[in-house]
Structure 1
Amino acid sequence: MSVGTKSVQCFRIQSVPTRLSLDVRKLNLAYNHIKEIKVRDLAGLSDLQEVSLSSCGLEQVEANAFVAQQLSLRVLDLQKNKLRLVPRGLPSSLEVLRVGHNHIQGLQASAFEGMKHLRILDLQDNRITVLRANALSALVRLESLCLDGNRIESISGAPPRLPQLNLLSMTANRISTLSSAFFASMKSLRTLHLSGNLLTRVPHELPRSLLHLSLDHNQIRSLRNREMAQLRNLTTLSVSANRVASVDGGLRLPNLTSLELSGNHLRVLPGRLAPKLETLDCRQNALQEVTHQQLSGMRHLKHLFLENNTIRHFEANALRNCLQLTNLALEQNLLTSIPEGLPHTLVRLDLKQNHIDSIQERDVRSLKRLQLLNLRNNRLSSLGAGVVAQLPRLQGMFLGGNPWNCTCELLRVKRALVARQVDMGKEELCEEPAPHVGEHWRASLLEEGQRQRCKEEEEEETLTAEDTADTDLDEQTENEDYYDYDV
């Protein structure tokens, strides 16, 4: 037993200890072997405010077991036990009740009677199949309700009266439909999680107060204005891993900042989306092109994720109105070149696993702020020093998995990247192939020969530069590039 100031924690016990101090306020009996709680176990402990009985193998709590704490108990933790029912006669003073990870199969109408102060109710990972909504109506001050990981297929009874509910989470159930009446009293709802169900469309008449809505892993086929027009306060919407094939143009979601649509059936990038959008995730769809018209209104866009599609055509200057874009992900598409006219605001550009076979200086000239460039697994055979010189803030450049032609110029580029301490990952650029047994001497001679040839070329270039230095001394042009690495 561990005793602190008005706090008691017990270990290796099979029942509630007797002779506890009558002024104890916090009682932690978690991770013991207590199968039952009776009224007499806690009698006299009228100052108890918090009780934890989680992970005890608890099978039964006698009705009114906490009657002595009717006015004092604020937090009761009964998680991870073997309870089949929500205990009856719990104190009206309770503010937090956690009964998740039990064997509860349903909610009785009287389960929460009189609990007008309860703010947080956790019922996740039980065995509820039919949610009797009217059983929750007594919880007029409830702010957070978690029903994740049950087996809820339907909701019966009159709609619950939950005027102060702020968060409702019902992920990983079997819900196929929700009536608009279910949400009628939830005027304060800000966050709604319905991922991992069987919904085929966005529920009708969701509360106008919603800020965050997650519908991932359902069977939704489209996003329609008529289902969502009232959600003018919504800031984040996630509908990933559904069957979405269409999104109504100009969804009336003026405050939306994040839209996640990855893992759907989109063939066309949604256009005319919310003007305040900062993050658009359309990974793992069937997109084939990107055009300026689709993205023209997204002046606040910062993160655009388009990887794992079949994009072949990327219209020149398609992103010219995306004046704040910093992160562009285009990996695993069918691009044959770096898109033309990328915004100068880019910090990260991912082009891994495309069909890009060459890079010109003009392709990256505008990317003065770029810090990371991923070109792994393309079809590049050469890379000019001028390309790297156009990227003064580069911190990472990943080039593995390309069929490089290891010329002297490419080796100079490699040395320049190393000198600038640019991270090139674990793949070795222009690494000599491992020699076969008995051919170590041959590989060594070939490598040494290549190095010698490159060294001779550099010496010749140095001499030529020295011979012409005097004539060029006074010919500095206004077009000479200058990179300030501290900016």
Structure 2
Amino acid sequence: MVLTTILKCSICIFIFSVQFKSYSTALCRTTNDHKNHTCEGFRFREIVLSRSTRLQLLRTRIFNCKETDVKEGALVFPNLENLTVSCGSIQNLDEKAFLNFNNLQELDLSYNQLSKISNQVFRPLGNLRTLNLTGNSFEDLPQTIFDGLNGLKELFLSHNKINNFHVKVFDAIRAVEKVSLDNNLINFLPGRLLTKLRKLQYLDLSNNYIENVGEVFVLAYNLQYLNLSHNVIEDLPLRLFQTTRLEILDLSNNKLSIIYEDALPFKTLKKLYLQNNQISLFDVGGMNMEYMPLRLLNIENNRLVFLENDFIKTASSLTELYIFKNPWDCTCFQEIEKIHDELIVQPEDTDGPVCVYGLSNDCNINKSNLTAYYRAFVKQLEL
């Protein structure tokens, strides 16, 4: 009898410990003012909240929810302003999933498995300001996917598999100011892709496979930040950015070989990143400008032998200059040092500048003889 009782108790303890361990991965918390709610490890139907609490909630974050679908009525938060459903498992959104979220301003559906969305899903969200679809499985963006988001200001589509989108996909979000499309599989930009986005200020297209930018930025009048780094761009069309208001432009880690002054908006640029390309000619002189606002220039790790003297003098606003790891003509490098010595930033892994002595004492470089510098530069590095 005693042995039987002990065995029963042991079994009870074992079952209780297993249940407790399973339950301990699930957790819901609500702040005292009932405005913020976080839930992790539950299914939607297991989230128990009173009607009064649901009415007060302004922000709800749901993680690891063990769901594959968000169905109509699965989430009932009438006055919610900020909703996060980041479960790693959501594959489908019912077209009425957000039917009664009239006050929603921020929707975070990042890091799920979404690949397609009905064009009806976002229609009720006319007040939405931020939409985060980062880390999903989108491959293409159809024309009507963002219908209804007339007030959208920020759109995040990073870390998907996007390789195709309809030329008018962004026409429905004309008020958008910030778009992130980095870390996708984009290799082509339709010419009129940004035509309707007259308020766009920030665009990130880094870490894609873009070869040609065409005329896609011609009508991006308010664009101030553009990241095209880590692509495979070889050429920049002239006057490509002349209608923009670009202040920060990142073209690092591409395959650029020549930079012409008419290709870049030096009248507005404050930071320019060109490192890790194959640039042999930075054909930028004074451009008849008395003042250039450029503060940071990074041209490290290219194939530059010289810079135009007019450019060196005109760029009087520079505060950071990164020029190492180029096969500089020593005389030309000294010319740069005379004007910008205090601004040159030396990498931690570099003892000092490596330059090549040419045939001239006045930095008068024969552009057809650059190959000789490259050979001499490689030899010096090998010593």
Aligned to 2:279: 311
Which amino acid in structure 2 is aligned with residue 49 of structure 1? H
**Where in structure 2 are there 5+ consecutive unaligned residues?**
1-15, 17-22, 358-377
Which amino acid in structure 1 is aligned with residue 184 of structure 2? N
Superposed, 1:317-332 pairs within 5 Å as: 317=285, 321=289, 323-332=292-301
What SS class does the counterpart of residue 276 from structure 2 fall into? coil
Distance 1:293 1:188, change over 3 A: same
Deviation at 1:305, TM superposition (A): 0.4
Deviation at 1:261, TM superposition (A): 0.2
Aligned to 1:235: 201
Aligned to 2:231: 264
Q: Percent identity?
A: 23
- Choose which of 256, 275, 279 in structure 1 pairs with 2:248: 279
What SS class does the counterpart of residue 302 from structure 2 fall into? coil
Q: Partners of 2:33 and 2:346 in 1: how far apart?
A: 59
- Choose which of 365, 374, 379 in structure 1 pairs with 2:354: 379
Aligned to 2:49: 66
Aligned to 1:289: 258
State which structure, 1 or 2, has the greater radius of gyration over its C-alpha atoms.
1
What SS class does the counterpart of residue 192 from structure 1 fall into? strand
Q: Partners of 2:329 and 2:345 in 1: how far apart?
A: 15
Q: Matched residue pairs, number?
A: 325
2:176 equivalent to 1:210: yes
Deviation at 1:320, TM superposition (A): 6.2
Q: Partners of 1:125 and 1:151 in 2: how far apart?
A: 9
What SS class does the counterpart of residue 184 from structure 1 fall into? coil
Aligned to 1:247: 213
Distance 1:306 1:134, change over 3 A: same
In the superposition, the TM-score normalised over structure 1's length comes to: 0.60
Deviation at 1:240, TM superposition (A): 0.4
Pairwise CA RMSD: 3.3
- Choose which of 89, 93, 100 in structure 2 pairs with 1:131: 93
Deviation at 1:318, TM superposition (A): 6.6
Q: Partners of 2:177 and 2:132 in 1: how far apart?
A: 14
Q: Partners of 2:25 and 2:229 in 1: how far apart?
A: 46
Deviation at 1:378, TM superposition (A): 5.0
- Paired residues of 2:253 and 2:277 also in contact (CA < 8 A): yes
Deviation at 1:374, TM superposition (A): 3.3
Distance 1:147 1:402, change over 3 A: farther
Deviation at 1:310, TM superposition (A): 0.4
Deviation at 1:92, TM superposition (A): 3.5
Q: Partners of 2:133 and 2:280 in 1: how far apart?
A: 40
Distance 1:319 1:246, change over 3 A: farther
Superposed, 1:64-213 pairs within 5 Å as: 65-67=48-50, 70-71=51-52, 73=53, 91-113=54-76, 115-156=77-118, 158-160=120-122, 161-202=124-165, 204-206=168-170, 207-213=173-179
What SS class does the counterpart of residue 182 from structure 1 fall into? coil
**Where in structure 1 are there 5+ consecutive unaligned residues?**
1-13, 15-31, 74-90, 383-400, 405-487
Aligned to 1:336: 305
What SS class does the counterpart of residue 126 from structure 1 fall into? coil
What SS class does the counterpart of residue 325 from structure 2 fall into? coil
Greater relative contact order (Cα 8 A, min sep 6): structure 1 or 2? 2
Distance 1:356 1:136, change over 3 A: same
Q: Partners of 1:324 and 1:123 in 2: how far apart?
A: 43
- Paired residues of 1:276 and 1:298 also in contact (CA < 8 A): no
Deviation at 1:118, TM superposition (A): 0.8
Distance 1:129 1:35, change over 3 A: closer
- Paired residues of 1:292 and 1:318 also in contact (CA < 8 A): no
Deviation at 1:245, TM superposition (A): 1.3
In the superposition, the TM-score normalised over structure 2's length comes to: 0.75
What SS class does the counterpart of residue 237 from structure 1 fall into? strand
- Paired residues of 1:145 and 1:167 also in contact (CA < 8 A): yes
